[in-house]
Chain A
Amino acid sequence: MCSLCGVLGANEHWADAAAREGVYTRNVDSVRRRRERADRVRLANRVLAVYGMRLSDWQGASFLLSTLTGKSEIVEDLGHLWPAAERLSGRLCDPLAPDFLARLGDDHG
């Protein structure tokens, strides 16, 4: 369910596809789902740190995106994360921007 509008069966994001024949997904059982969510939070935080933001798991169903100044927003999946990050930070989150890549590469390369 979409936590913002309350609509049941919100759009399926490709990275969280429902388990069905022929489809690759880690959305299969609770252990795998939780491990994937934890990995996603860890990796997204390395990227979001460049913009002064942080992601955390919210009740195992959504994610909480926060800025250093305390602004926050609940996001459903990776598809909603980046537009929300741009809204909250007021910056373009561009993975091709040379200065962003330089910082990300320096911090973790």
Chain B
Amino acid sequence: MVEHPPAFTPVTLLTGFLGSGKTTLLRRLLADPSLGDTAVIINELGEVGIDHLLVERLDDQMVLLNSGCLCCTVRGELAAAMRDLYSRRERGVLPPFRRLVIESTGLADPFPVLSTLKGDPVLRHHFRAAGVVTTVDAVNGLSQLDRHIESVRQAAIADVIVLTKTDLAEAATAARLVARLGAMNPSAPLVRAAEEPLDADALLRAGGSGWPRAIAEPTIATAAHGSVRAFSILVDEPLDWTAFGVWLTMLLNRHGAKILRVKGILALRGEERPVAVHGVQHLVHAPTHLSHWPDNDRRSRLVFIVEGIEPDLIRRSFQIFNRLSAPVAA
């Protein structure tokens, strides 16, 4: 029986600053047989150097690799390239890929790509954001974070950070970078590309499912990184879902551009199982009803990564809105 592709094809965004090892990572991923059911949209076919992996050139923009991976370049609009992929898969012209990886350019803010997925009238019915994988260069990462806000944003919104060139960096430099990344984005697992075997399948899956475990760490201090800060809100009592929705939509409407990331596991009034919420700037993904708590801690936890907003203001606002819905004592 022919297996049908999923109703919503998961899309992983691969991002990272210029020279941070994105292309090298892609080259390793493309050769991995576990990406046999994956389509990859990259900036330049020539750059990645995949000629030795090539099985068939489907047209001037699309090739099939011997790993089974479908690789194409984007010319012009990303949305057009994705619609074309979808349309060809539905017509049976392309192998039925089950997930999509998009490489973003080194200087790009990843948000517009995620926005395309959610806002495009065709794509939003067929694709879903699955996660962001960000490469950070262990040699130059610290100075890039200091000098380029794009680099900070890319690390801040990552679901998984792939640390590259650790074999070239001094141990002390790499350790300082790891500490800084941990403070900036405490919920993203860190993979060392040079030292650890790279499991492409796990890497792409972790983008979508790894963070509920990572977020379980309750003692995240306010971590300053220039104007970018990570902090958490912990709540003992179960939350009111409606009040939370009114608050978060109002917050993101006014401050969405400065809220690089919000992730949370919520204990809701009247619900046994936790609910995970997950947003990037103005975009919030459909909330996930998790099957169980990641550990014994049953408190609601929200992690924010913000740029230029005082964490205490968000905490105070959250508390006041949360009290609006307090059940009236009989």
Contacting residues of chain B (233-263) with chain A, CB-CB under 8 angstroms: 240-243, 245-247, 249-251, 253-255
Q: Is the CB of B324 within 8 A of A43?
A: yes
Q: Is the CB of A24 within 8 A of B321?
A: no
CA distance A47 to B244 in the complex (A): 13
Q: How large is the interface on B (under 10, 10 to 19, 20 to 34, 35 or more residues)?
A: 35 or more
- A81 → chain B closest CB, angstroms: 7
8 Å CB contact of A23 from B288, B317, B323:
B288
CA distance A86 to B287 in the complex (A): 26
CA distance A109 to B255 in the complex (A): 24
Q: Is B227 in contact with chain A by the CB < 8 A criterion?
A: no
Q: Is the CB of A11 within 8 A of B124?
A: yes
Q: Which residues of B contact A79 (CB under 8 A)?
A: 249, 253
- B157 → chain A closest CB, angstroms: 17
Q: Is the CB of A93 within 8 A of B254?
A: yes
Q: Is the CB of B323 within 8 A of A92?
A: no
Is chain A's interface secondary structure helix, strand, loop, or mixed overall?
Answer: helix
Q: Is the CB of B288 within 8 A of A82?
A: no
- B123 → chain A closest CB, angstroms: 12
Q: Which of A11, A14, A22, A105 counts the most chain B CB atoms within 10 A?
A: A14
CA distance A85 to B320 in the complex (A): 20
Q: Which residues of A contact B240 (CB under 8 A)?
A: 43
Q: Is B49 in contact with chain A by the CB < 8 A criterion?
A: no
CA distance A95 to B324 in the complex (A): 13
Q: Is the CB of A9 within 8 A of B125?
A: yes
Q: Which residues of B contact A7 (CB under 8 A)?
A: 121
- A85 → chain B closest CB, angstroms: 9
Q: Is A71 in contact with chain B by the CB < 8 A criterion?
A: no
Q: Is the CB of A23 within 8 A of B286?
A: yes
Q: Is A17 in contact with chain B by the CB < 8 A criterion?
A: yes
CA distance A25 to B245 in the complex (A): 11
**Chain B 44-80 interface 0/1 with A at a Cβ cutoff of 8 Å (1 = within):** 0000000000000000000000000000000000000
**Chain B 283-320 interface 0/1 with A at a Cβ cutoff of 8 Å (1 = within):** 01111110000000000000000000100011011001
Q: Is the CB of A96 within 8 A of B313?
A: yes
Q: Is A12 in contact with chain B by the CB < 8 A criterion?
A: yes
Using known A-B contacts A11-B119, A25-B287, A105-B320, determine if residue A43 contacts B250 with beta carbons closer than 8 Å.
no
Q: Is the CB of B124 within 8 A of A95?
A: no
Q: Is A64 in contact with chain B by the CB < 8 A criterion?
A: no
Q: Is B325 in contact with chain A by the CB < 8 A criterion?
A: yes
Further pairs besides A82-B249, A96-B309: 16, Cβ < 8 Å: A11-B119, A14-B287, A17-B286, A17-B287, A24-B275, A26-B241, A43-B325, A47-B324, A86-B253, A95-B247, A95-B250, A95-B321, A96-B255, A96-B317, A101-B320, A108-B320
Chain A interface residues (CB < 8 Å from chain B) = 7, 9, 11-12, 14-15, 17, 22-26, 36, 39-40, 43-44, 46-47, 78-79, 81-83, 86, 92-96, 98, 101, 104-105, 108-109
A-B contact pairs, 30 of them (CB 8 A): A11-B118, A12-B286, A14-B284, A14-B286, A15-B249, A22-B288, A23-B287, A23-B288, A23-B289, A24-B289, A25-B286, A26-B241, A40-B242, A40-B246, A43-B242, A46-B324, A47-B324, A94-B255, A95-B247, A95-B251, A95-B317, A96-B313, A96-B317, A101-B320, A104-B320, A104-B324, A108-B320, A108-B323, A108-B324, A109-B320
